[in-house]
Amino acid sequence: MKRSLFASLLVLLLLLSGCQSTPVPTSAPAPTATPAAPALPTNTPEPTEIPERALVVCLAEEPSTLYAYAGSSRSMWSVLEALYDGPFDTRGYSTQPVILEKMPSLAEGDAVLEPVTVRSGEPVVDVSGALVALAPGVTVLPSGCTSPDCARAWDGASELQMDRLAVTFRLKPGILWSDGTPLTAADSVFSFQLAADPATPVSKGVVDRTASYVAVDELTTRWTGVPGFVEKNYATYFWLPLPQFRYQMVGAAGLLADEAANRAPIGWGPYTIQEWVSGDHITLVKNPLYYRAAEGLPKFDKLVYRFLGAPADTAVLATVSGECDVVEDNPAFTAHLRELILTQYADKLKFTYTLGPEWEHLDFGIRPAAYDDGFDLLAGDRPDLLGDVRTRKALAACVDRQKIVSDLFYDRSQVPLGTLPPDHPLYQADLPAYAYDPAEGSRLLDEVGWKDTDSNPATPRVAVGVVGVLDGTPLQLTYSASQADLRAEVAEIVVSSLVECGVGVERDLLNPGEMYAPGPDGVLFGRKFDLAAFTWQAGSQPGCSLFTSRQIPSAANAWIGTNVTGYSDPTFDAACTAALWGRPDQADYPERVATVERLFAENLPVLPLYYQLQIVVSRPDLCGLDSDSTARSFLWNLEALDYGEGCAP
């Protein structure tokens, strides 16, 4: 009903905006006397004041802070894009320099792998990627080894050499903080020191794997990792500079509560903060010291961030009425996709979208937690309904995933094939697609032993010789999903598709707290489901790590892990490790990725359903907006945005 009301209000607003034309008189006006000529001015007129141009960005929520290490949110980084231009941008899974001279690379020599001798007790990264103290029995990759195939356990006596990565970064000269102080390498090193401080509440993963991060000179930093840490994204190990000259005396703990750091930080980007009115807006003004000012950037004199609230319909109506020039991406926009399409056709707004990075998938409960102490059907364990890959492939053929994309996303999304998004350079387009084919799905179910014994479509198939299932057991599954977004509509399509193949399905739509509760009691992380639909985020690396054996949540690991299906296969685990340890500069890296993506698609621990859409709504004449699912924010190129006459070719 709420969606229907929103659609009605939107139509009314469109009609009203289309009726505001100048009225046409019904008769000629009466003649009037010729007006006297105006007197000539006796004084030189004051010059006409050129009005300031402003861009209004509407956010779903007010940031709680603008200090980069005090928290992180989408709205915070939307604002920080105006203060910090870079230090680099991620575009199409490629890291591009902004305030750096270039991105370092092994091929060009500003990143190097150095063989070093390691000794007992020294920190190293082992073959699983864990940071450990070297000790007898620890398995590592010796120098020159880049695959688990050549890993070896240290014997505790022989000399061991491992590779250590060192990366050099150089800032562009002449960049200034907005108060005129030069931006230096020391500011980046200071930022690293803040991140490493125990008082700073940020992830210490890369910090702990850093042997040193130092300023070589005024514009150059050098990062050195602990032996064995040779991850692919080394080009990003340059810390976001923070003003050492302002923050050093405050300290890491003090900065978390410092008013200036949290509400009025300085940067080197296109704008500086003028005011922050809590609960309403943040106003920024053009930074005259911006290093790209000579290019005519940024395009606006003022930038205003309004806090509009989370409802997507509010944001759409505010854009149509002219209150917002651009609205940050909001997952709830997907539910209003039809209205957005129609309103764009009416030229009252524009929306841009990208696929992902989130992808929705239907997880199979292959190995419930109850099996961890041994599978015992007679003791009351759930029958092994989904352990046979043929059953999973049959269900894949029975689910009309294209109908989801067509009916709910108006063909703006697509069905994923593997764990990588379709715009990724290593996306595998030739993976098994499992097209909607109820006849093939029924054939596979028959082959496994799930028989339609009564030819009644209203009753599910039953087991006849299915391994791990008592004969006569119905193929009855529970479909679990949260009530958020479009999942109720998705569930309707999935369930109706499965019923056509003789699969009984009961829907269980839960609130997010129930769905994502920790194990052992939670539905997902307690591994207590048959089918479960939810979302993971695609990234620049294969998503295989989400489905390895070591990621199965269980009592042994305090129920922490992402592989809620319980799927476990040594071949897949090894292929995933090889892909994750590989580097893009290696000749066999594409094949490593292709191998693990094929294994994922063939073993089918989950059924990919669709990519979520990342939607940004704006006024119809806004130009320069270039959405990219891999960017830090939809405003990654904020300084280039413009509208009206500024967009003329």
Which DSSP letter does residue 77 get?
Answer: H
Q: Which residues of 111-131 are buried (b: 16+ CB within 10 A; e: fewer)?
A: bebeebebeeebbbbbbebee
Q: How confident is the model over 354-366, as pLDDT tens digits?
A: 988 889 999 999 9
* Residue 225, both tokens: 């990792």
* Residue 533, both tokens: 């639909």
Query: What does 559-587 look like in DSSP terms, one character per residue?
Result: T--S-TT----HHHHHHHHHHHH--TTST
CATH number of 94-244: 3.90.76.10
Q: Which residue has the tokens 């476990």?
A: 568
* Residue 426, both tokens: 């290593």
Phi-psi map region of 555: left, alpha, beta (phi>0 left; psi -120 to 50 alpha): alpha
**Three-state SS at 457:** coil
- Could you give the dihedral angle defined by the CA atoms of residues 430, 433, 437 and 441, in that order, rounded to the nearest 10 degrees? 110
Is 151 a residue whose pLDDT tops 80?
A: yes
93/27 Cα distance (integer angstroms): 65
Q: How confident is the model over 222-252, as pLDDT tens digits?
A: 999 999 998 788 888 999 999 999 999 999 9
* Mode of pairing for the β-strands spanning 476-482 and 504-510: parallel
Q: How confident is the model over 325-378, as pLDDT tens digits?
A: 999 988 889 989 999 999 999 999 999 999 888 899 999 999 999 999 999 988
Summarize the confidence of residues 131-143 as an average pLDDT: 97
* Mode of pairing for the β-strands spanning 450-451 and 462-463: antiparallel
pLDDT for the residue 31 = 33
Summarize the confidence of residues 214-223 as an average pLDDT: 98
226/517 Cα distance (integer angstroms): 36
Q: Which of 531, 529, 478 is nearest to 507 (CA)?
A: 478
Residue 128 pLDDT level (bands cut at 50, 70, 90): confident
390/447 Cα distance (integer angstroms): 8
* Residue 505 host element (H or E): strand 504-510
- Whether the CB-CB separation of 544 and 419 falls below 8 Å is answered with yes
For residue 431, the tally of other CB atoms under 10 A from its CB is 18
Is 629 a residue whose pLDDT tops 90?
A: no
- Whether the CB-CB separation of 267 and 248 falls below 8 Å is answered with no
* Residue 278, both tokens: 């809590």
* Residue 320, both tokens: 């149509």
Residue 456 pLDDT level (bands cut at 50, 70, 90): confident
- Whether the CB-CB separation of 142 and 155 falls below 8 Å is answered with no
Residue 7 pLDDT level (bands cut at 50, 70, 90): low
Q: By percentage, how much of the chain surpasses pLDDT 70? A: 92
Top-confidence residue, 309 or 524: 524
463/499 Cα distance (integer angstroms): 16
550/472 Cα distance (integer angstroms): 35
326/316 Cα distance (integer angstroms): 10
* Residue 48, both tokens: 């006409």
Q: How long is the chain?
A: 649
Q: Identify the architecture of domain 54-85+269-349+619-647 in CATH.
A: 3-Layer(aba) Sandwich (3.40)
Measured over the CA atoms of residue 377, residue 383, residue 388 and residue 390, the dihedral's sign is positive
pTM: 0.86
pLDDT for the residue 309 = 84
- What angle is formed at CA 305 by the lines to CA 303 and CA 306, rounded to 5 degrees? 135
334/347 Cα distance (integer angstroms): 19
Top-confidence residue, 429 or 485: 429
How far apart, in Å, are the Cα atoms of 354 and each of 58, 334, 413, 522?
A: 19, 12, 9, 32
Q: Which residue has the tokens 């500024």?
A: 646
How far apart, in Å, are the Cα atoms of 152 and each of 282, 476, 492, 569?
A: 56, 47, 51, 21
Is 218 a residue whose pLDDT tops 90?
A: yes
pLDDT for the residue 10 = 53
Q: Which residue has the tokens 């009984």?
A: 504
Is 258 a residue whose pLDDT tops 60?
A: yes
Q: 634 — phi, psi (to 5°)?
A: -65, -15
For residue 364, the tally of other CB atoms under 10 A from its CB is 27
Domain boundaries, the chain: 54-85+269-349+619-647, 94-244, 356-543+608-612
Residue 24 pLDDT level (bands cut at 50, 70, 90): very low
- Whether the CB-CB separation of 566 and 511 falls below 8 Å is answered with no
Q: Which residue has the tokens 């514009």?
A: 219
Q: Which fold has domain 356-543+608-612?
A: Dipeptide-binding Protein; domain 3 (3.10.105)
Provide the angle, in degrees to the nearest 10, between the axes of the packed helices 312-320 and 2-18: 0
Q: 77 — phi, psi (to 5°)?
A: -75, -25
Residue type for 568, please?
A: S
241/139 Cα distance (integer angstroms): 36
Is 300 a residue whose pLDDT tops 80?
A: yes
470/462 Cα distance (integer angstroms): 9
Is 40 a residue whose pLDDT tops 70?
A: no
C-alpha neighbours within 13 Å on the C-beta side of residue 577? 23
